Amino acid sequence: MIGRAVANEFAKMRRLRVVPVAAAMTVGVVALSCYALAAPGFPESVDDPAERPWQWLLGSMALAVLLVSPVLLAVLASRQVDIEHRGGGWLLSQTSGLTPGALCRAKFAASGAVVVAATLAQSGLVAAIGGLAGITVTFPVGQWLGYTASAVVVNLVLFALHLWLAARTANQLVGLGAGVLGVFAAVSGTGMSTGVAHFLPPWGYYALSVPVDVREAGVVSLDPPYLSVAALGVAGGALFLFATRLFDRREV
Amino acid sequence: MITTHDLGKTYGDRTVVANLDLRVPEGCVYGFLGPNGSGKTTTMKMLLSLVRPTTGEIRIMGRPMERSTRRELLGHIGALIETPPSYEHLTGRENMRLVKRLLDLDEGRTTRAVRTVRLQDHLDKRVRDYSLGMRQRLGIAMALAREPRLLILDEPTNGLDPAGIEEIRRLLAQLAGDGTTVMVSSHLLGEIDRTATVLGILGEGRMLFQGTRDQLLARSTPDVLIDTPEPERATALTARWSAYRDGPAVRLPGLDRTGTARVVAHLVHERVDVHGVRRDAQSLEDVFMDLTGGRGL
């Protein structure tokens, strides 16, 4: 039944403006990332490995992701869940044998795929634009993929949190408010030490995932705590499963 | 089809349903009546395992309704609880497709369900453009799509105009004719009085009456009306039977046959002319009002 429920979630996305929201997330990140291309001295650095032009672009993208994703993920989750509150969808599903928790998990599977696709598209498009802008130095495949995987994990955990929040409270302003606060939390995370940022999940993990830093000497590569990001993914998944199981016990 | 034993639901120290022994025979239209807040919706939710009973047990189609049997039993039960469910941004057809896919039904079943509620000409409209009656019919079509043996409808006529109410009545009668057991709740007796073959009347969470329409009427003793040219004197002479004047007649409440004979004999003995003795015509609504303490109608 869960497979059919996931298929239904894709069908429900019709006319919900899911694609425009996901596209806005992608375009927003790509547009903000491209600021790096307009930075003074960047056009001259595209051929110089010492200037690390790809790392500039990657750092720019990481900053754009933490600025754009929290709010748009909140909007996406809210749109998916609000239709159940307004249309009596919880009861319809329950009387069809699909528990509210299972419905939430089906939503996560379907909309999560959109989130993953949008995140991969952002990463791919920024890389493509870097290439088109004339960067000729070797592309840092491992670093780029490492960051992309981290962004996917953090985005999915944050999306799961917003789905839970939207399902828990019918007033969708709560989730959207949390999304706006999330931007502040994510930005604040960049100014915190790694240790402190660990205690601000999931928003602080956007900052933890940033693979570069700008120092006096220029842009330097960092060694992001991938293990911590993976732990966030596992813990977030377990918590989401637990929280949605609790929904099954809730009386309507 | 449905039996409950000592069914009850308590929230904190507030009892919503108590000691409910429902008996819904197979193939009937069971009118579940009661004033607003009497516990009808909570009872229906317990039947569908949406709310856990505090006490008692439920058996549907001979099987206990509990967590382990819930999904299988729900496959044979269509339900419409509270507001009709639908996704407003989708068309009626897309909504029906969701139900079809979720329950893994074939196209024929959803087509038949849509035809039963006569919605086939409006399927390509978005639900947000539907009237309340059309939404109600779509909700019923969604419940009917699985071709259920039992259909549970909670106030399906709420907010409908008289034509819509009549349409729902006809639909219920048709479904019962096709062998579906229908349990339908309402706080308005007139809406289901003519359709229901069995009535259950709930008041403050307790079953006040359960049986047929005739049994319900028989439960109440209509007033006796005595026609006499001397109503003033006759009223004074029968004061001990709580008589009072009602226009040109004398009205005596709660009198059985023996009591009536005694009153008439007394009046004749006192040389009061008695031109006629009859029972007042009593509507089902009067009985319902009587049972529910005058609430809900």
- pLDDT, tens only, A227-246: 999 999 999 999 999 999 99
State the average pLDDT over residues B183-195: 80
- Whether residue B287 is contained in a domain is answered as no
- Whether residue B55 is contained in a domain is answered as yes
Same domain flag for B64 and B91: yes
Average pLDDT, chain B: 88
Q: Do B86 and A88 touch (CB under 8 A)?
A: yes
Instruction: Report ipTM for this prediction.
Output: 0.87
Q: Is the pLDDT of residue B297 over 70?
A: no
- Whether residue B153 is contained in a domain is answered as yes
Q: Is the pLDDT of residue B152 over 90?
A: yes
Comparing A50 with A159, the larger pLDDT belongs to A159
* Res. B295 pLDDT band, cuts 50 70 90: low
Same domain flag for B143 and B9: yes
Same domain flag for B105 and B210: yes
Question: Is pTM beyond 0.95 here?
Answer: no
Encoded tokens for B188: 């308005």
Cα–Cα distance measured from residue A108 to residue A114, given in angstroms and rounded to the nearest whole number: 10
Q: Do B87 and A12 touch (CB under 8 A)?
A: yes
State the average pLDDT over residues B129-155: 91
- Whether residue A251 is contained in a domain is answered as no
pLDDT tens digits for range B159-181 = 777 877 888 888 888 888 888 99
Same domain flag for B106 and B152: yes
Given phi > 0 = left and psi -120 to 50 = alpha, else beta, which region is B6? left
Same domain flag for B248 and B158: no
Same domain flag for B134 and B154: yes
What integer pLDDT is reported at residue A248 of this predicted model? 85
- Closest chain B residue to A3, measured at CA: B102
Cross-strand partners of A218: A215
Specify the CATH number for the domain of residue B106: 3.40.50.300
- C-alpha distances (whole Å) from B266 to each of B108, B175, B247 are 72, 55, 21
The domain containing residue B209 runs over which residues?
Answer: 2-216
* Res. A29 pLDDT band, cuts 50 70 90: very high
State the average pLDDT over residues B98-102: 94
Could you give the number of structural domains in chain A?
1
- Whether residue B296 is contained in a domain is answered as no
Same domain flag for B206 and B247: no
Mapped onto helix, strand or coil, the DSSP state of residue B30 is strand
Distance from CA of A110 to the nearest CA of B (A): 15
State which H helix or E strand residue A41 sits in: none
Find out whether the peptide bond into B253 is cis, omega within 30 degrees of 0: no
- Whether residue B294 is contained in a domain is answered as no
Same domain flag for B39 and B183: yes
Same domain flag for B109 and B254: no
Q: Which residue is listed with tokens 């969701």?
A: B98
Cross-strand partners of B8: B55
- Whether residue A83 is contained in a domain is answered as yes
- Whether residue B293 is contained in a domain is answered as no
- Triad B287, B288, B291: Cα angle to 5°: 85
Using CB atoms, pick whichever of B52, B98, B143 lies closest to residue A8: B98
Encoded tokens for A4: 């059919």
Cα–Cα distance measured from residue A10 to residue A85, given in angstroms and rounded to the nearest whole number: 18
What integer pLDDT is reported at residue B253 of this predicted model? 85
What integer pLDDT is reported at residue B294 of this predicted model? 60
Chain A touched by B168 (CB under 8 Å)? no
- Whether residue B288 is contained in a domain is answered as no
- Whether residue B155 is contained in a domain is answered as yes
Chain B touched by A86 (CB under 8 Å)? yes
Distance of CA A54 to the CA centre of its chain: 21
Same domain flag for B13 and B158: yes
Using CB atoms, pick whichever of B75, B88, B97 lies closest to residue A11: B97
- Long-range CB contacts (< 8 A, 24+ apart) of A220-226? A220/A55, A221/A52, A221/A55, A221/A140, A221/A143, A224/A146, A224/A147, A224/A150, A225/A194, A225/A198, A226/A146, A226/A149, A226/A150
State the average pLDDT over residues B282-296: 67
Q: Is the pLDDT of residue B296 over 70?
A: no
* Res. B43 pLDDT band, cuts 50 70 90: very high
- Whether residue A155 is contained in a domain is answered as yes
Could you give the number of structural domains in chain B?
2
* Res. B22 pLDDT band, cuts 50 70 90: very high
State the average pLDDT over residues B128-134: 90
The domain containing residue A135 runs over which residues?
Answer: 2-246
Which residues 87-106 of B are in CB contact (within 8 Å) with A?
87-90, 94, 97-99, 101-104
**Are B200 and B30 spatial neighbours (Cβ–Cβ below 8 Å)?**
yes
Cα–Cα distance measured from residue B48 to residue B25, given in angstroms and rounded to the nearest whole number: 17
Same domain flag for B185 and B158: yes
Q: Is the pLDDT of residue A89 over 70?
A: yes
Distance from CA of A251 to the nearest CA of B (A): 5
- Whether residue A10 is contained in a domain is answered as yes
Q: Phi and psi of A232, rounded to 5°? A: -60, -45
